[in-house]
Amino acid sequence: MERTFVRPLRLLVALAATTLLAAGCGGGAGSAASAESGVTVRLGVFPNITHAAGLIGVGHGIFEESLGDVGLDVSYFNAGPEAIEAVFAGAVDATYVGPNPAINAFAQSEGDAIRIVAGATSGGAFLVTTPDITGVDQLAGATIATPQLGNTQDVALRAWLREHGLETDATGGGDVAVVPQANADTLTAFRAGDIDGAWVPEPWATRLVQEGGGHVLVDERDLWPDGEYVTTHLIVATSFLEEHPDVVELLLRGHVDATRLANEQPDEAKEIVNRQIEDATGKPLAAAVLDAAWPNLTFTWDPIASSLRTSADDAVALELLDPVDLDGIYDLTVLNALLRELGEEEVDGL
């Protein structure tokens, strides 16, 4: 078996072209794989620990085994909108992505383009500030970074600030200046004293603490019932799901196996994830960062659907999203059939 990664000088997308295992190799491939021989799944994933299931599935060969004769091409993305653009362009069939990009894709396509077929990760987002900021009352006049305007953490920050009587706007005005920027730039700006904090996902929150001297002001888990909210889930292009439901089943088998490994063998899982991050970006995470960030995440195939509706409602209230009817965004039929077969509890959509 050979795997080749092709990287542009400035990594936006890296494609992994894979020669797959022979027919009949590995769990669950069986007749579905034979029926879909010659089909290729083009899968998107981010080199980020919140996408651990995807990275484990790719890096440990779990997807290859579950897919059997079905081909696998892997693209690495840096941000949700980029992954969604690839779905819209027909370049990607399935991708791990955060909730707000999925909501936007569903809204922009009037409910046609994508379906959420499984959860992947819960938790792992924090507001980290300079040590002198110890309460929300000290944030007026502060500058706080988020990964991208309208992304999951950006909406969470703005909604939390509004709840505490602090207004923001899309141009960085208001009571608190919210500055969307790349996470790597956020770490640099925080260390330089150019920003007062950031609402970011792992591992960037841990890096702001360990490398930037910050402290956690808000653990987003504290804002949700039972501390559960979706950070990452797996979406599939609706057309691909309708044409190849058996292939989606094989992909989900791999996803469930990768999720189990993340939970049951964390040390091995961390090594796999960090190898994939290094392979995609050229640099692994420091062991201290990975060890501190990992327990902040919950790896689950439950999409935690109720939190998605709340995120959408918050984005609408903040005028970052037009009102959207999310009915139909989930198609958990294949996943729940698989979970029944495996003796696992089924999960709910909206």
**Helix, strand, or coil (residue 224):** coil
Quick check: helix, strand or coil at residue 254?
helix
Q: What is the CATH number of domain 3-123+228-342?
A: 3.40.190.10
For the chain, give every domain's residue range.
3-123+228-342, 125-226
pLDDT of residue 31: 38
Residue type, 132: D
The CATH code of the domain at 125-226 is 3.40.190.10
Please determine, for residue 277, whether its predicted confidence score (pLDDT) is greater than 90. Answer: yes
Lowest mean pLDDT among 78-82, 235-239, 246-250: 78-82
Tokens of 303: 């999409």
Side by side, which strands form the sheet with 215-219?
177-180, 143-146, 197-201, 125-129, 215-219
SS3 227: helix
The two tokens of residue 288 are 């201290």
Whether 218 and 153 have beta carbons less than 8 Å apart is answered as no
3-123+228-342 and 125-226: same fold? yes
Query: In the structure encoding, which two tokens stand for residue 50, read together?
Result: 């919140």
Q: Which of 19-28, 194-203, 226-235, 287-296 has the lowest mean pLDDT?
A: 19-28
Instruction: Say which residues have a Cβ less than 8 Å from residue 10's Cβ, sequence separation at least 6.
Output: none
Helix (H, G, I), strand (E, B) or coil at 319: coil
Q: What is the mean pLDDT of the chain?
A: 89
> Rounded distance, CA 188 to CA 215, Å?
16
How confident is the model over 145-155, as a mean pLDDT?
A: 90
The pLDDT of residue 330 is above 60: yes
* Pairing assessment for the beta strands 40-45 and 3-6 based on DSSP bridges: unpaired
Return all residues near 168 (Cβ < 8 A) that are at least 6 apart.
Answer: 157, 158, 161, 162, 174, 175, 176, 177, 178, 318
How confident is the model at residue 78, as a pLDDT?
81
* 4-16: burial string, b at 16+ Cβ within 10 Å, e else: eeeeeeeeebbeb
Split at pLDDT 50, 70, 90, the class of 9 is: very low
Q: Model confidence at 17, in pLDDT bands (50, 70, 90)? A: very low
Instruction: Name the percent of the chain lying above pLDDT 90.
Output: 82
- pLDDT given for residue 224 in this prediction: 95
Tokens at 193, concatenated:
């004293």
Q: Is the pLDDT of residue 240 over 80?
A: yes
β-strand pairing of 177-180 with 197-201: unpaired
- Cα atoms in the Cβ-side hemisphere of radius 13 Å centred on 270: 15
Cβ contacts of residue 125 below 8 Å, gap of 6+?
152, 153, 156, 199, 200, 201, 202, 205, 220, 231
Confidence of residue 152 (pLDDT cuts 50, 70, 90): confident
Q: Tell me: the pLDDT tens digits for 61-81?
A: 999 999 999 999 999 988 888
